[in-house]
Chains A and B, each alone.
Chain A
Amino acid sequence: MNRRIALRHLALISGGLAFIPSCDFSSDDILTAYENLKITQSQKQLLGDISNVIIPAGEIKGALDIEVPDFILVMVNDCLNSEQQTLFSTGLAAFPGFAKQSGGGNFAKLNTKEKEALIVSGQNLEVDETEKGAENKAISYFLNTTKRLTIQGYMASEYIQSEVIPYSLIPGAYNGSVLISDIQKPRING
């Protein structure tokens, strides 16, 4: 219960204002699509920002362009156990504070280099028996899980597997002795 209340407060501070016109903002800021997670709209936005730092847009689309954050939340909601989900949610909730302390301000306002450095340092936080250590554990779990799922969601996306590195449902006859020097580009999809 406490966690839920805390998250609602967080919602209020960070992004809840936008929801005031809907009146009942005691619950609607928590995204019901991910029923096992108490994730707010603003937290999802933060997750999107982080995934976009991990795989940024460029000539080829980035993680945020192809809705990888949705995939991450579906996977965390459906495929992790409750202990892992708690770690993930706790880490996500603690991340803005970590950004202020270690990165010197609001995550969204940092430049790309600063964001990258912050995420990498967060992935490798020291974990010990203290209260701080427990928070560090959650932050680093959250970031490592987010990176793993960003890579998975990005590479196994329709965009990548149809437009960038097309997936082949029928990979062709087997050749068990191919000279690598004869191959133009290593084949990773099918």
Chain B
Amino acid sequence: MANLNIRNKQERTYEAIVIGSGISGSWAAKELCDLGVKTLMLERGRNVEHIKDYPTTNMLPYEFEHRGQITQAEKEANPIVSRCYAFREDAKHFFVKDAEHPYVQEKPFDWIRGYQVGGKSLLWARQVQRWSDFDFEGPARDGFAVDWPIRYKDIAPWYSHVEKFAGVSGNKDGLDVLPDGEFLPGYDLNIVEKHFQEQLKKNYGNDRHMISARCAHIHGNSEFYAEQGRAMCQNRNLCQRGCPFGGYFSSNSSTIPWALKTGNLTLRPDAVVHSIIYDEELGKATGVRIIDAHSKEMEEFFAPVIFLNAAALNSNLILLNSTSSRFPNGLGNDNGLLGKYVAFHNYRAGVSAQHEGHAEYTTSGGRPTSGYFPRFRNVYKQETDFLRGYAAGFSAGRNVRSNTDGIGMDLKNNLLNPDQYGPWYVGSHMMGETIPKESNYVALDPNLKDPYGMPQLKINVDYDDNDEKMVKDYLEQMTEMFEKAGFTNIRTRDDHRAPGLDIHEMGGVRMGKDPKTSLLNANHQLHAVPNVYVTDGASMTSTSTQNPSLTYMAFAARAAHHAVAESKK
């Protein structure tokens, strides 16, 4: 028996374990495997294989029974995920339903999750803007959170590393707030977007910019990506279904098959992580305890290095649930700050309008991105009554007008022979930086359990006065910019959505220089348990305004190389 147990343990021992198969986990695994490390990747959801498990990817609109709509019964059973813009008939199978993983909302928080191999990398909006030192230096300059232990120069080569492999389309815009990267050819802005760009230049000089947003789509150099089995983006804009071309970056199309091809990756889906095992004598983490999603049996896996990439709040949950007599309040949580200083992106506000000009023009074809408005507020110095600022999405477009007046033959003829274009519409939405605060936290509920017997996560995250001021400023400034550009029928909105719907929740296991005030060091290692790395959104010290996934990819790749270098010491 003893021998059997030893063999059994050997079979469940790897050189590294990565918890989570989403954007950051798959990058950690890919780098580890490329460096020859025998890696186990644990994923709580089912397996989703590239192409094979994209059931809706080539479906035509009429093949969806409800033409894309979510049914009333689904909405009533899933009030949380139903609020997500992408939870539609074509992609609903990639979202976690409300009852699958309940949590406690001490304050309203829409926690949008994707539990499957690939995680939310199948569903993301694929926007990849780099951070600059205006972002990394934010907390130190403005006196909030703690200073980031890294700067742009530390992460820049890793941005390049992941951009080249993932495939990022963009233009060299030469903006100090949004550093240029390793770009495939960028997508064009349309004639009205260019008009707005020119108007900004005319009205604001070199202070405000609108560029073609950098996106993780293959738009050139197709031979290089053929090695990954991926092809050029076909402008279908059906990305949320999974792309049969691998036209955009997902774990499923890119990093996971790549890692599997090395022969070093073992992928274990249906493994709900319970906790990280800490050995008091050795003074380090030795493995991971999982609950099999089907049998509900507990199982343990072992490795000298563990990467935690379960997505921001689930990484918090796992650490909080990893208790021992050395760490009674959660792994690495000597200072009591684990789960605290959670932040997000403020997506509440938008401005839309019409443009009367360029009436003789329209657009044709499709593109996977649109315009991006980098932060201009408080960049070089503090200039408003709120801290930090916001980025914004921007796009213009034009629809064929569908005349649905009347009934009978007139209606039919109008529907089948549309001959009028509506006016150009323009729209913008804000992406505001929020300030991490101790009072915005997640914790384990002492009583409530989820269907696996795990404690439920209690989420207590809210807007503050800084966010309110920022919403007001965004609405005022964007309205002014629209007015100056000659747009008409300008409408503003603040939908007061709950935090979480931005799907950019961050923090709780923040990086920092001082173990007294942070959980992770400059290399993403837990200060107190250095063989545990956290490289997903949980590690974020501050949020800045950029869509964060690219930064998580770069973090994961950088930390994986650090872990391998450490193991060779």
Taking Cβ atoms with an 8 Å cutoff, the residues of A that contact B are 53-56, 58, 60, 62, 74-75, 78-81, 112, 116, 119-120, 147, 151-152, 154-158, 160-162, 164-165, 167, 169-181, 183, 186-188, 190
Stretch at the interface among B18-26, B31-39, B358-366, B498-506: B358-366
Give complex CA distance A28, B302 in Å. Answer: 62
Separation in Å of the B407 CB from the closest CB of chain A? 5
Q: In the assembled complex, which residues on chain B have CB atoms less than 8 Å from the CB atom of A190?
A: 366
Separation in Å of the B71 CB from the closest CB of chain A? 4
Return the chain B residue nearest A76 by Cβ.
B72
| CB < 8 Å neighbour of A174 from B366, B419, B421 | B366
Q: In the assembled complex, which residues on chain A have CB atoms less than 8 Å from the CB atom of B421?
A: 180, 186
Beta-carbon contact of A188 and B402 below 8 Å: yes
| CB < 8 Å neighbour of A170 from B66, B191, B236 | B236
Stretch at the interface among B54-62, B346-354, B470-478, B483-491: B54-62
**Sample of 14 more A-B contacts, CB < 8 Å, known A74-B65, A180-B361:** A56-B409, A78-B65, A78-B73, A162-B60, A169-B236, A171-B235, A171-B364, A171-B366, A173-B365, A173-B367, A178-B361, A178-B362, A179-B361, A180-B360
Q: List 27 A-B contacts (CB under 8 A).
A: A54-B411, A55-B412, A55-B415, A56-B409, A75-B66, A79-B71, A80-B72, A151-B404, A155-B415, A157-B62, A158-B60, A161-B62, A169-B58, A169-B236, A170-B236, A171-B235, A171-B236, A172-B235, A174-B187, A174-B364, A174-B365, A175-B365, A177-B190, A179-B361, A181-B360, A187-B400, A190-B366
Give complex CA distance A171, B188 in Å. Answer: 16
Beta-carbon contact of B416 and A176 below 8 Å: no
Q: In the assembled complex, which residues on chain B have CB atoms less than 8 Å from the CB atom of A186?
A: 400, 418-421
| CB < 8 Å neighbour of A167 from B60, B71, B408 | B60
Asked if B234 is an interface residue, CB under 8 A from chain A, the answer is yes
Q: In the assembled complex, which residues on chain A have CB atoms less than 8 Å from the CB atom of B235?
A: 170-174
Asked if B69 is an interface residue, CB under 8 A from chain A, the answer is yes
Asked if B67 is an interface residue, CB under 8 A from chain A, the answer is yes
Beta-carbon contact of B363 and A174 below 8 Å: yes
Give complex CA distance A187, B236 in Å. Answer: 15
Q: In the assembled complex, which residues on chain B have CB atoms less than 8 Å from the CB atom of A54?
A: 407-408, 411
Asked if B343 is an interface residue, CB under 8 A from chain A, the answer is no
Give complex CA distance A75, B89 in Å. Answer: 13
Separation in Å of the B322 CB from the closest CB of chain A? 43
Return the chain B residue nearest A173 by Cβ.
B365
Separation in Å of the B92 CB from the closest CB of chain A? 13
Main secondary structure of the interface of A (DSSP, over half): mixed
Beta-carbon contact of B407 and A53 below 8 Å: yes
Beta-carbon contact of A156 and B364 below 8 Å: no
Q: In the assembled complex, which residues on chain A have CB atoms less than 8 Å from the CB atom of B361?
A: 177-180
Asked if B189 is an interface residue, CB under 8 A from chain A, the answer is yes
Give complex CA distance A190, B235 in Å. Answer: 10
With contacts A171-B366, A174-B235, A181-B360 taken as known, whether A78 is within 8 angstroms of B66 at the C-beta atoms is yes
Beta-carbon contact of B408 and A116 below 8 Å: yes
Asked if B193 is an interface residue, CB under 8 A from chain A, the answer is yes
| Interface bits B183-202 vs A (CB < 8 Å: 1, else 0) | 00001111101100000000
Q: In the assembled complex, which residues on chain A have CB atoms less than 8 Å from the CB atom of B73?
A: 78
Give complex CA distance A147, B415 in Å. Answer: 13
Give complex CA distance A160, B66 in Å. Answer: 17
Separation in Å of the B54 CB from the closest CB of chain A? 13
Separation in Å of the A157 CB from the closest CB of chain B? 6
With contacts A171-B236, A176-B193 taken as known, whether A183 is within 8 angstroms of B364 at the C-beta atoms is yes
Return the chain B residue nearest A149 by Cβ.
B67
Separation in Å of the B189 CB from the closest CB of chain A? 6
Separation in Å of the A124 CB from the closest CB of chain B? 12
4 cross-chain pairs, A with B, having the tightest CB-CB distances, nearest first: A176-B190, A174-B367, A172-B365, A177-B191
| Interface bits B64-78 vs A (CB < 8 Å: 1, else 0) | 011101111100000
Q: In the assembled complex, which residues on chain B have CB atoms less than 8 Å from the CB atom of A177?
A: 190-191, 361, 363
With contacts A58-B409, A116-B408, A120-B407 taken as known, whether A176 is within 8 angstroms of B66 at the C-beta atoms is no
Return the chain B residue nearest A186 by Cβ.
B400
Give complex CA distance A178, B365 in Å. Answer: 10
Q: In the assembled complex, which residues on chain A have CB atoms less than 8 Å from the CB atom of B419?
A: 186
Give complex CA distance A175, B67 in Å. Answer: 27
Give complex CA distance A179, B358 in Å. Answer: 9
Separation in Å of the A186 CB from the closest CB of chain B? 4
Beta-carbon contact of A169 and B60 below 8 Å: yes
Give complex CA distance A179, B367 in Å. Answer: 18
| Interface bits B355-379 vs A (CB < 8 Å: 1, else 0) | 0000011111111000000000000
| CB < 8 Å neighbour of A188 from B70, B189, B400 | B400
| Interface bits B478-517 vs A (CB < 8 Å: 1, else 0) | 0000000000000000000000000000000000000000
Q: In the assembled complex, which residues on chain A have CB atoms less than 8 Å from the CB atom of B416?
A: 60, 160, 164-165
Give complex CA distance A78, B190 in Å. Answer: 39
Beta-carbon contact of B415 and A176 below 8 Å: no
